Amino acid sequence: MKKLLWLVFILLIAFIILVYFSVSSADKEFETVTIQELDDLESMDFRRHDSVEVAASSLYEANELKDIMQGENYREAWTSPVKVPVLFLDSLYGGIEIVKEGGGTQTHSLRLKDKNGFLYSLRSVNKDPSTHVPEFARSLGLENIVIDAISASHPYGAILAASLSEKAGVLHTHPKVVFVPKQEFLGKQYNEKYGNRLFLLEYETEGEENWTGYKNVYKILDTKNLQELKEENPSQVSIDKNAFVRARLFDMLIGDWDRHAKQWGWVVQKEGNTFKAIPLAGDRDNAFFNLGGVIPGIISNKNIEPEVRPFEKEISHMPGLVYPNDVYFLTNTPVEIFTAEAKKLQDLLTDDAIADAFKVWPKNIAEQNSKEITEKIKSRRDNLVKYAKEFHRIITEKELLNKPLKGSEDIKISPELMKCFECAN
């Protein structure tokens, strides 16, 4: 018995040593872009070039130990050069203005507005997770365990998600990858933070002007403003439940587990005195989330972190993918809507349609990741009716909300409307 205990103790110590060396601090916490074959970035005149070859980041390069302990993830995609257009903001869409800085705690972003009133977002491809590093991890030199997790997100996942959305009939923000060099337009306030970086340029998920193909659009609202509209017009405002169910099932197809209320906009159509809101998915940072390795495997265990779900061939823990906003908007929705939308997605996302969607990726990126991602999408697609029924079942078993949706904490709505969207009717 003593020998067995000693063996367990030795194995535990060995594991701790492996963990320490694999997650020990990197030289940098945040690296935005690596310019290929360019000796002097600061002196480069980018106005002489319409495109540039860049790699998103060299921060996630790893040795064999790190691959085993923290996963291979999408490290190769992050370090592979891709050709992208150079963007100067003073000439974008005939000239734009910077409305404000935005983004979450990890994404650096600028909200832009053109002369016609259309709103856009410039969102960093790489993330800055430094604010999420616990102090104890810093003191032990283990902050890399948080920083390195960004490598599980695909740097170009958002544009593939948009291409697949087009096939699936799911509204999206039309993101495209661009390189923004340092430029006079950014000025001292923004040049250091936003210059010489790789971004996604996409439409905003809110705004006064309609950029979608829908007719009779009143406004594009975020979730909290949609709730306020509902508060003012309780029986006149509804959402397109079929569209929302399809969008949420599509999230599951592409492994996008981060879908809280702030990730959604709503294209609100007005006919007479009635309003119908069509869901608009934003922020595809975690689509195709490829979390591998020993340490992430432990952390993402459904009993430890149920919401962080790896993108595998099968959905292993559906409760982790069901958000409060699902219960809020889809309570009392018949199961037939869930199964019907699942079947529509199966019909739309044929093998040929999926293959065609990957054409938005540079050839080298597609060669690295398309086969594995395609196999996972097809597997999930083939089981989508089963997942749809389970999704519906979990929603029906959840209690109505007793606190505001994420992002709606500062608005005043009735207690009934806080419970569910239809509770105020």
- CB within 8 A of 337, min separation 6: which ones? 241, 242, 245
Which amino acid is residue 284, in one-letter code? R
Number of independent structural domains in the chain: 1
Dist CA 333 CA 38 (whole Å): 56
Is residue 405, in this structure, part of any structural domain at all?
yes
Residue 294 has pLDDT above 70, yes or no: no
Is residue 156, in this structure, part of any structural domain at all?
yes
Is residue 282, in this structure, part of any structural domain at all?
yes
To the nearest whole number, what is the mean pLDDT of the chain? 84
Distance of CA 266 to the CA centre of its chain: 17
pTM of the model: 0.86
Distance of CA 22 to the CA centre of its chain: 26
Residue 139 has pLDDT above 70, yes or no: no
Is residue 30, in this structure, part of any structural domain at all?
no
Is residue 110, in this structure, part of any structural domain at all?
yes
Is residue 85, in this structure, part of any structural domain at all?
yes
Whole-number pLDDT of residue 13: 37
Is residue 364, in this structure, part of any structural domain at all?
yes
Whole-number pLDDT of residue 425: 74
What DSSP string describes 66-109?
Answer: HHHHH--TTHHHHHSEEEEEB--TTTGGG-EEEEEEE--SS--E
For residues 14-28, give the mean pLDDT.
43
Residue 270 has pLDDT above 80, yes or no: yes
Is residue 171, in this structure, part of any structural domain at all?
yes
| % of the chain residues with pLDDT over 90 | 63
- Owning domain of residue 376: 49-419
The tens digit of pLDDT for each residue in 72-131 reads: 789 999 999 999 999 999 999 988 999 998 755 556 889 999 999 999 999 999 876 554
- Lowest model confidence (mean pLDDT) among 29-43, 146-160, 227-241, 256-270: 29-43
- Percentages helix, strand, coil for the chain (3-state, rounded to 5) are 45, 15, 40
